[in-house]
């Protein structure tokens, strides 16, 4: 089933060249019809599909998960008011979550992209996660070296600390990812993938492929399943 038309992408291309309130107001009805409502319908559809296997998602509504198109420009040098893509995160707490936990996706004229993993991690949770990785190093490496994971996501990303707690120096010598402050992964597809009737299946595949690593992380991070992924990478 196709949720989007080519005008979804065209709208954002034109917005990028006319990123101001006057243009947006003149094209607001077009935005509502060809961008906002289709993205909301797709997000709800994906929630419903995921909820068949993840009971924690059953009470979610699309509005709980979709980020605003308005940019937060309070502390930014870039004062353009609108994002040039739509984004959402499906997790038990939707967009209120502070870490990647489930699936975050963004659709725009530059790409279709899906994320998983953990992004913002509290200090105590980061210590616990590093400890978990150090104590289960072989399991961790097996998960991110899995052929299917590597084919879809490539590798685990994240900023790194220059120094490690002495408790992790030995493990850090064996596994450089222990230096990470975040542990997230993503897959990027052509923007036109948005028009594929099997887009929902692709997002489901991303979620299912990343899930074993998510489950590994969740053993050690005290994140409530009453909340799901993300610090918005698009805010």
Domain residues for the domain of 52 are 6-218
Q: How far apart are CA 198 and CA 208, in angstroms?
A: 15
* Short-list 49, 45, 87, CA closest to 66: 87
Buried (b) or exposed (e) across 100-138, using 16+ Cβ within 10 A? bbbbbbbbbbbbbbbbbbbbebeeebbebbbbbbbeeee
Residue 84 has what DSSP assignment?
S
Per-residue pLDDT, 231: 34
User: From residue 23, how far is each of 13, 16, 26, 77, 85 by CA, in Å?
Assistant: 13, 11, 5, 21, 16
Residue 228 counted as domain residue: no
Residue 1 counted as domain residue: no
Measured CA angle at 7 (ends 21, 17), to 5 deg: 40
* Short-list 215, 232, 230, 221, CA closest to 54: 215
Residue 93 counted as domain residue: yes
Residue 214 contacts residue 102 (beta carbons within 8 Å): yes
Residue 58 counted as domain residue: yes
Cα 170 to chain centroid distance, Å, stands at 32
- Please state the domain count of the chain: 1
Residue 177 counted as domain residue: yes
From first to last of its 235 residues, what are the pLDDT tens digits of the chain?
899 999 999 999 999 999 999 999 999 999 999 999 999 999 999 999 999 988 889 999 999 999 999 998 888 888 999 999 999 999 888 887 655 568 999 999 999 999 999 888 889 999 999 999 999 999 999 999 999 999 999 999 999 999 999 999 999 999 999 999 999 999 999 999 999 999 999 999 999 999 999 989 988 886 433 333 333 333 3
Residue 121 contacts residue 181 (beta carbons within 8 Å): yes
Per-residue pLDDT, 117: 92
Q: Which tokens hold the place of 208? A: 């299912």
Per-residue pLDDT, 230: 35
Task: Give the CATH number for residue 157.
Answer: 3.30.930
Residue 145 counted as domain residue: yes
Per-residue pLDDT, 98: 56
Per-residue pLDDT, 113: 98
Per-residue pLDDT, 76: 84
Burial degree of 149 (CB within 10 A; 0-12, 13-18, 19+): buried
Residue 234 counted as domain residue: no
Cα 37 to chain centroid distance, Å, stands at 20
Per-residue pLDDT, 224: 37
The sign of the dihedral angle between the CA atoms of 8, 10, 11, 17 is positive
Residue 233 counted as domain residue: no
Per-residue pLDDT, 227: 33
What is the helix, strand, coil percentage profile of the chain, to 5? 50, 15, 35
């Amino acid at each position: 089933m196709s949720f989007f038309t080519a005008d979804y992408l065209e709208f954002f291309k034109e917005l990028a060249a006319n990123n101001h309130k006057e243009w947006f107001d003149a094209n607001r009805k077009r935005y509502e019809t060809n961008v906002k409502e289709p993205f909301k319908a797709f997000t709800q559809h994906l929630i419903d599909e995921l909820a068949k296997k993840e009971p924690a998602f059953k009470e979610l509504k699309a509005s709980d998960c979709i980020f605003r198109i308005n940019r937060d420009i309070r502390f930014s040098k870039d004062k353009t008011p609108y994002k040039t893509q739509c984004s959402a995160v499906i997790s038990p707490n939707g967009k209120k979550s502070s870490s990647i936990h489930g699936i975050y996706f963004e659709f725009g004229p530059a790409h279709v992209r899906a994320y998983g993993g953990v992004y913002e991690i509290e200090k105590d949770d980061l210590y616990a996660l590093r400890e978990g990785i150090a104590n289960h190093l072989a399991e961790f490496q097996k998960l991110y070296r899995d052929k299917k994971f590597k084919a879809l996501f490539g590798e685990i990303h994240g900023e790194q600390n220059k120094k490690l707690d002495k408790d992790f120096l030995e493990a850090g010598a064996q596994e450089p990812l222990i230096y990470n402050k975040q542990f997230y992964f993503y897959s990027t597809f052509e923007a036109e993938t948005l028009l594929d009737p099997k887009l929902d299946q692709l997002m489901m595949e991303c979620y299912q492929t990343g899930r074993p690593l998510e489950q590994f992380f969740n053993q050690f991070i005290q994140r409530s399943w009453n909340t799901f992924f993300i610090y918005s990478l698009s805010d």
